[in-house]
Structure 1
Amino acid sequence: MGSRGTPMLDQLGQPFPPVDLRTLSGTATLGLTQRPESVRRARDFTRNTLQGWRLPQHFDAVGLVVSELVTNALRHGLGRPAVPAQSHAEPVAPISVARPLVELELMRCSGRVICAVQDPSGALPRSSSQMDGAAESGRGLHLVECFSDGWGWRMLTGGRGKVVWAAFQTS
């Protein structure tokens, strides 16, 4: 958790989504690992950040979108965690990852909040129009599209993954 500049946007080489850095009034960052509680941590972090920015009325939409983007990053950006083969031996404790694999950044600037989720995958996000309508999963980006004022993605330089972002009007 932090309040540094705009590390994800800086890595993109240009402000994307379009952000006038002169109007940036707050950032908050949370690193996440591939654990079941990570999506809940991201939602709680978002709620607390929006309350601190005196924007709690935006939590329903922003929290839903953060949940979808983080879930997608953990599920598709990292792939499925390795599951040890079942045996009659004692259960193996999950391997703890020291450094975050996915990063959530919330940014507040003139009249909007932007959430950005970075993951190490080079796989492109698949919009709802690319998904099978009968599929039980894959509707997350459709929700992002419905609840945000705009969203997009951008590959990071040097093949270091991607950032998926969503913007919300606050004024």
Structure 2
Amino acid sequence: MSTGTVLATDPHVVSCTLAPRFEAVRTAREFTRRTLDDWGLEEIFDDVALVASELVTNALRHALGQCEPSRVPAQSGPQVPADALPIRISLVHRSPQVVCAVSDPSSTGPVAREADFVAESGRGLHLVDSFSRSWGWHPLAGAGKVVWALFDVRTAVPGTAQLSSSGRHRRSA
């Protein structure tokens, strides 16, 4: 099994530990669907799941230091050290907002690249920026970081991005 879900004492704060494998992206989407359904927030699933997928993919590709997926043989899966710390996705619902946060063992913050529409990768943070109200990251005590994205439920319209002119690409200590 690739995940162990933890429900805190607060039902509006839930986390799921993900195994360091590409299947973790699917697990994160399923976790997001179940959680948003439980909260009655199905209408924001598409946006939150897209962002969750991008944040987990970034953690797998960059934070765990694995090779580009195109260079990994299809049968072997990603090359991840056996002692690698897990990736964790957390969802927090504090009306009228939902936060999707992904923590990983790297202390290096995410960097949005210049959009290259011909490249097969490199647009993930641009998608996060487009589909969330704001996003940012924080270092964790000791080691690691958490990358988060904020969604405003009150203005959520299925299939549309929630835009805001402030709060983008913040890093807080």
List per-residue Cα deviations over 1:57-114 (Å, max 9, x = no partner): 1100000000000000111111117xxxx9xxxx9xx999588610000000020110
Give the aligned partner of residue 169 of structure 2: none
Query: Which residue number in structure 2 is paired with residue 139 of structure 1?
Result: 123
Aligned CA distance change for structure 1 residues 29 and 99 (closer, same or farther; 3 Å): farther
SS at the partner of 1:2? strand
Structure 1 segments unaligned to the other structure (5+ residues): 6-23
2:134 to 150, 154, 163: 150
Name structure 2 gaps, 5 residues minimum.
Answer: 68-72, 155-173
Task: Pick from 6, 16, 23 the counterpart of residue 30 of structure 1.
Answer: 16
What is the TM-score normalised by the length of structure 1?
Answer: 0.73
Deviation at 1:27, TM superposition (A): 1.0
Confirm or deny: 8 A CA contact 1:121 1:162 kept in the other structure: yes
With normalisation by structure 2, the TM-score equals 0.73
Secondary structure class of the residue paired with 1:168: strand
Separation in structure 1 between the aligned mates of residue 139 and residue 80 of structure 2, nearest angstrom? 28
- Identify if the C-alpha distance between structure 1 residues 4 and 38 changes in structure 2 by more than 3 Å, giving closer, same or farther: same
Report which of the two has the higher share of helix. 1
Could you tell me which residue of structure 1 aligns to residue 108 of structure 2? Answer: 123
Query: Aligned match of 1:66 in 19, 36, 52?
Result: 52
The equivalent of 2:147 in structure 1 is 164
**What residue in structure 2 maps to residue 52 of structure 1?**
38
Paired AA for residue 101 in structure 2: A
Pair 1:32–1:100, CA change in 2 (3 A): farther
Same amino acid, percent of matched pairs: 46
Paired residue secondary structure (1:153): strand
C-alpha distance in structure 1 between counterparts of 2:90 and 2:24, whole Å? 14
Deviation at 1:36, TM superposition (A): 2.4
Change over 3 Å in CA distance of 1:97–1:50 after alignment to 2: farther
CA-to-partner distance for each residue in 1:124-169, whole Å, 9 max, x for gaps? 2011xx33625331110000000000000011122x1110000000
Q: What are the Cα deviations for residues 11-44 of structure 1, in whole angstroms up to 9, with x where unaligned? A: xxxxxxxxxxxxx760110001111211000000
Q: 1:96 to 1:51 in 2, by over 3 A?
A: farther
User: In structure 2, what is the Cα distance between the partners aligned to 1:142 and 1:95?
Assistant: 26
**Partner of 1:157: helix, strand, or coil?**
coil
Distance of 1:154 and 1:95 partners within structure 2: 24
SS in structure 1 of the partner of residue 7 of structure 2: coil
- Name the aligned partner's letter for residue 23 of structure 2: E
Question: CA separation of 1:99/1:123 partners in 2, compared to 1, >3 Å: closer, same or farther?
Answer: closer
